[in-house]
Amino acid sequence: MLRFLTAGESHGKGLVTIIDNFPAGVKIDEDFINEKLRLRQSGYGRGARQKIETDKIEFLSGVRGGLTTGSPISFFIKNKDYENWRDRMDAFKPVPEESKIHTPRPGHADFAGSIKFGLDDIRNVLERSSARETASRVAVGAICQIFLKNFGIEFSSAVLNIGGVGAKIGSEFNSEPINLNLFNPSIRKNIENSELRMPYPELEEKTKAYIDNIKAEGDTAGGLITAQVKGVPVGLGSFTQWDEKLDAHISMSVMSIQAIKSVEIGAGVKSAYLKGSECHDSIYCRGNRDNENTDNKEQGNPISNDAALFKDSNSGFFRKTDKAGGIEGGMSNGEIISVTCAMKPIPTLMKPYLDTVDLNTCEPKKAFLERSDVCAVPAASIVVESALAFSICYFFLKKFGGDGLAEIKRNYDGYFKK
């Protein structure tokens, strides 16, 4: 099965990643991967470190002549900032007592991680738990996307809301669902032209002003992110066992991202406030003229009112709504798969608002300051998209698996001839 491992610290020499069981014969586009890495570093509200780092992927193995070889892929992403931290992050130089950290920041891994591993320096926790690790995951997701492009599968992501500015969903159960299709050319252009990766140009300046105010207060902001994938064939995942369900794996992948606190598929939480007749997506067949001529502007479509966007290119069946988010019974149903998640405000604040204690003495303290971002929601949208890409790739290879791209294509084509 496809899998990957990452290693490295936030201020160490760099990040190392190994991808195992990736098929041979896939042409790798370095520019595509590096552009995803650039997007992960961009966005209004990022901190000073992004002016230091310029992430680039360096393949160490598994790629030759521009094609994957079938052996494990390994790559390195250098941390330029290591030069400024060499004395504190050296593998063998003793750590000065005065540089050790004993006061955990609420909301971080500091407290539980230090107790779990019996560490006397919280830096040993925060270096690895840092969101710097997501650079590796973005590169993995980009490699998965490159493979899936061979089968017409596309991904997109966007920011819906920052600190309450933007789309009104989630807790506002009486509001209308979002009518948003990230693959619509005009919406995609809005996202690409936005420093916030928001599809709402009219809210750009208002949201930036909110972030500026939060920064002036020494505080941080979270937000809502959505990621979508289209072109996924029917039948990825399974209903037969709990750990074979596609939506369960996607939820795990996205929830594992630093600062993500909730994950929804399709209508998500709002499903609990709908009647069954409002919640489920009726099935139609393209060959039936009555079906195709039916008014496709059904109320409550959370993505798009264009029925053509929901036609499964691999069959004659389609939906006019997609409140299921492209997944039913743990399996893809051929529609756009839509994931929405909430990112909490980064818990490293620029002013000492939060109370904590010294783990050695139990003396009351204020949480220490560490260089951080005011708002990393736009950057996190790229990470969410990458996490979604890995889950789709994982189940795609499980369904159509083979050792090389040509074999997988034969398996894929054969599935639709049955």
Please return the burial class of 409, using the count of CB atoms within 10 Å of its CB with bins 0-12, 13-18 and 19+: middle
pLDDT for 313: 47
CA distances from 66 to 26, 61, 309, 328 (A): 8, 11, 34, 38
Please determine, for residue 170, whether its predicted confidence score (pLDDT) is greater than 60. Answer: no
Structure token pair of residue 213: 């105010």
Percent of the chain, pLDDT > 90? 76
pLDDT digits (tens, 9 = 90+) for 139-163: 999 999 999 999 999 999 999 999 9
Looking at 62-107, which runs of residues are DSSP E strands? 63-64, 67-68, 73-78
Structure token pair of residue 317: 């069946």
Structure token pair of residue 365: 């303290």
3-state secondary structure of 295: coil
Least trusted range by pLDDT, from 32-46, 62-76, 145-159, 290-304: 290-304
| Residue range 82-98: mean pLDDT, rounded | 90
d(CA 214, CA 211): 5
Looking at 268-323, which runs of residues are DSSP E strands? 283-285, 317-319
Looking at 266-408, which runs of residues are DSSP E strands? 283-285, 317-319, 327-328, 331-332, 337-343, 355-357, 364-366
Gap between the terminal Cα atoms of the chain: 25
pLDDT digits (tens, 9 = 90+) for 2-31: 999 999 999 999 999 999 999 999 999 999
The pLDDT mean for the chain works out to: 89
DSSP alpha helices (H): ranges in 177-299?
Answer: 185-192, 204-216, 246-255, 276-279, 289-293
- The answer to whether the CB of 37 falls within 8 A of the CB of 57 is yes
Please determine, for residue 299, whether its predicted confidence score (pLDDT) is greater than 60. Answer: no
pLDDT for 96: 87
pLDDT for 371: 73
pLDDT for 275: 92
Please determine, for residue 316, whether its predicted confidence score (pLDDT) is greater than 70. Answer: yes
pLDDT digits (tens, 9 = 90+) for 374-394: 999 999 999 999 999 999 999
Q: Count the helix, strand and coil residues of the chain and give each as a percent rounded to the nearest 5.
A: 35, 20, 45
pTM of the model: 0.91
- The answer to whether the CB of 30 falls within 8 A of the CB of 8 is no
Please determine, for residue 293, whether its predicted confidence score (pLDDT) is greater than 70. Answer: no
3-state secondary structure of 363: coil
**Full DSSP string of 128-167:** HHSGGGHHHHHHHHHHHHHHHGGGT-EEEEEEEEETTEE-
pLDDT for 5: 98
3-state secondary structure of 368: coil
Structure token pair of residue 169: 């969903």
pLDDT digits (tens, 9 = 90+) for 104-139: 999 999 999 999 999 999 999 999 999 999 999 999
d(CA 95, CA 70): 41
Please determine, for residue 47, whether its predicted confidence score (pLDDT) is greater than 70. Answer: no
Span 3-415 CATH architecture: 4-Layer Sandwich (3.60)
| Residue range 354-360: mean pLDDT, rounded | 95
pLDDT for 292: 53
pLDDT band at 173 (very low <50, low <70, confident <90, very high): very low
| Residue range 85-93: mean pLDDT, rounded | 90
The domain limits of the chain are 3-415
pLDDT band at 49 (very low <50, low <70, confident <90, very high): low
pLDDT for 398: 97
